[in-house]
Amino acid sequence: MVPTRKGLYGLYAITDSRWCPPDRLDLLAELIRAAISGGAAIIQLREKSLSDQDLEPAARLLKEICQQHGRLFIINDRVELAAKIKAHGVHIGKDDIDFHQARKLIRDGIVGVSCYNSLELAKRFQDLGADYVAFGSIFPSPTKPDAVRADLQLLSEARSVLNIPICAIGGITEENIHRVAAAGADMAAVISGLWDCHEITARARSLADAMKNRRE
């Protein structure tokens, strides 16, 4: 078993069906392995359209790959599926399952929470027992163009008052990830900035190195 909370740092790779189709398991596995080879520390399976039953084969595959490489595997929103396959944790947002219900089902695993641009919300979830909080969209996001915007100053403020890991998300690329690291984020969640390229391993290495440099 991967030591869970100790792995909450670095490049946090989030799947998107445009680049990581969950129904094409061979391709999905190839992409995830490439990202891990480049240094991705955490993999999140995010898919809004399929049922839990249809998504389960992809979830089990990614969990197995992450286990093999000592990486964390998180599932977005689908707490029951995460509990069923014993994923390392879940990530929930404002429209997902209640935090207390999530913690009840994921007792010993990770529960991360989106806090958008609210430090007060992050403090509340820290007090409730969240393992990490996420802020964003830090930059304009091609994945969620209408997302609530946060800023780098919020990351710095959060770093000064929170005792749990902080994740930044939204529009993070090779060109701006160093700003996220400098502001104090422990993790940088990346979607298009990772997958929308031809050399996944090289891109992951560039992103992961930027976050690694913050820790050194």
Q: Are 58 and 92 in contact (CB under 8 A)?
A: no
**46 assigned to active site:** yes
> Is residue 49 one of the residues assigned to a domain?
yes
Catalytic residue among 84, 124, 144, 149: 144
pLDDT value of residue 5: 62
pLDDT value of residue 3: 41
- The pLDDT-based confidence of 214 (bands split at 50, 70, 90) is low
> Is residue 84 one of the residues assigned to a domain?
yes
> Is residue 198 one of the residues assigned to a domain?
yes
Give 142-195 pLDDT, tens digit per residue.
Answer: 877 788 899 999 999 999 999 999 999 999 999 999 999 999 999 999 999 999
Cα 154 → chain centroid = 19
Segment 188-213 shows an average pLDDT of: 96
Q: Are 63 and 44 in contact (CB under 8 A)?
A: no
- Structurally, the chain folds into a number of domains equal to 1
Cα 157 from Cα 115, distance rounded (Å) = 14
Amino acid at 33: R
> Is residue 105 one of the residues assigned to a domain?
yes
What are 79's two structure tokens?
């707490």
pLDDT value of residue 67: 96
pLDDT value of residue 1: 37
Q: Are 142 and 172 in contact (CB under 8 A)?
A: no
Parent domain of 36: 14-215
pLDDT value of residue 96: 77
32: pLDDT strictly greater than 80: yes
Give 135-155 pLDDT, tens digit per residue.
Answer: 999 999 887 778 889 999 999
Cα 56 from Cα 125, distance rounded (Å) = 28
> Is residue 3 one of the residues assigned to a domain?
no
Cα 172 → chain centroid = 12
Q: Which residues pair with 166 in a beta bridge?
A: 133
Give 36-63 pLDDT, tens digit per residue.
Answer: 999 999 999 999 999 999 999 999 999 9
pLDDT value of residue 7: 85
Q: Are 76 and 91 in contact (CB under 8 A)?
A: yes
- Beta-carbon count within 10 A of 30 CB: 13
Cα 193 from Cα 12, distance rounded (Å) = 11
Give 61-109 pLDDT, tens digit per residue.
Answer: 999 999 999 999 999 999 999 999 999 999 999 877 899 999 999 999 9
> Is residue 2 one of the residues assigned to a domain?
no
> Is residue 85 one of the residues assigned to a domain?
yes
Catalytic residue among 63, 71, 78, 114: 114
4: pLDDT strictly greater than 70: no
> Is residue 126 one of the residues assigned to a domain?
yes
Q: Which of 151, 103, 94, 155 is nearest to 127 (CA)?
A: 103
pLDDT value of residue 147: 82
pLDDT value of residue 76: 97
- The CATH number covering residue 95 comes to 3.20.20.70
Q: Which residues pair with 45 in a beta bridge?
A: 75
Percent of the chain with pLDDT over 90: 88
pLDDT value of residue 184: 95
